[in-house]
C-alpha cells in the first residue's frame, strides 16, 4: 500500500507538471481582452483595487496583468502571463479551487467518521483517505466517478473553456446561481471564491502530506 501510495503521489505530480507544459497551453496571443470587467482587488469598504496591487513591491508589476481578473495580486515572477492565455489559466485555477474546497470539506467529514447509511458495509469503518481511495479503486466506484466527470468535462467543460479563451465568457461562469447570490456584489463574490479556493488548495495539500508522514487523519 505504501509503494502504491508513493506511485500515486508521484503520478499526480508528474501529471500536474505535464498539464502546464508550454505545448499544452493556449498562447497569450489568442486571448481576446474583455472591454469591461470588475477590477478585482476589493478592500477599504469595497473600493475596487486591481492595477495598483503588487504582491512583490521590489519588482514592477507585470504589464501583462491588467487588473481585470479575480484575485489579481500582480504576482507572476516567472512571467507566465506574458505567453499563456490568461482566460485558460484563470478557468483552470477556478476549477481547481472549487474541487479543492469540495475535497477539503469531504476530508473533514470523512475524518470525523460521518458516513451515509450503508457505506460501512462497502468500505468499512476506516477514516484514512488513502485507504478509502484504494478501496474505491478496487471496488470500481472511483472508475465510475472518473467516467462521469470525464463525460461532463467533454460535454460542458471543453466548450466553456473554448468560450473563455475566445473572450466571450467570464472564467468559471456556468450560469448556475439558483439562489441568486451573485446578483449583488458579484465582484466581491468572485474574489472571495478565489481566495477561499487558493487557501483550500494549500490546506488540502498540507492535509495529504500530514497523513502520509504521520499516518493520522485531519482530526488526529
| CB neighbours of residue 9 within 10 Å | 14
pLDDT digits (tens, 9 = 90+) for 19-62: 434 334 455 544 444 434 444 455 443 344 456 677 788 888 88
Task: Check whether 107 has a pLDDT greater than 80.
Answer: yes
Q: Which residues pair with 84 in a beta bridge?
A: 27
Alpha carbons 101 and 94: distance in angstroms, whole number? 11
Give CA 192 to chain center in angstroms.
13
CA distances from 100 to 153, 181, 196 (A): 17, 21, 10
pLDDT at 65 (0 to 100): 83
**pLDDT digit string (tens) for 125-166?**
887 888 888 888 998 888 999 999 999 999 999 999 999 889
Its pTM surpasses 0.85 = no
Amino acid at each position: 500500500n505504501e509503494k502504491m501510495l508513493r506511485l500515486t503521489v508521484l503520478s499526480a505530480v508528474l501529471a500536474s507538471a505535464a498539464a502546464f507544459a508550454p505545448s499544452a497551453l493556449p498562447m497569450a496571443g489568442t486571448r481576446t481582452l474583455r472591454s469591461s470587467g470588475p477590477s478585482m482587488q476589493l478592500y477599504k469598504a469595497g473600493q475596487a483595487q486591481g492595477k495598483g496591487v503588487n504582491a512583490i513591491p521590489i519588482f514592477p508589476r507585470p504589464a501583462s496583468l491588467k487588473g481585470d481578473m479575480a484575485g489579481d495580486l500582480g504576482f507572476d515572477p516567472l512571467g507566465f502571463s506574458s505567453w499563456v492565455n490568461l482566460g485558460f489559466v484563470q478557468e483552470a485555477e477556478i476549477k481547481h479551487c472549487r474541487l479543492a474546497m469540495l475535497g477539503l470539506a469531504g476530508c473533514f467529514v470523512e475524518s470525523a467518521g460521518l458516513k451515509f447509511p450503508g457505506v460501512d458495509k462497502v468500505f468499512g469503518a476506516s477514516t484514512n483517505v488513502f485507504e478509502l481511495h484504494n478501496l474505491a479503486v478496487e471496488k470500481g466506484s472511483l472508475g465510475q466517478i472518473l467516467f462521469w466527470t470525464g463525460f461532463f468535462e467533454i460535454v460542458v467543460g471543453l466548450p466553456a473553456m473554448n468560450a473563455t479563451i475566445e473572450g466571450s465568457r467570464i472564467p468559471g461562469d456556468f450560469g448556475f446561481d439558483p439562489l441568486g447570490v451573485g446578483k449583488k456584489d458579484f465582484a466581491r463574490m468572485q474574489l472571495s471564491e478565489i481566495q477561499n479556493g487558493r487557501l483550500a488548495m494549500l490546506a488540502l495539500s498540507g492535509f495529504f502530506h500530514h497523513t502520509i508522514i504521520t499516518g493520522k487523519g485531519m482530526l488526529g
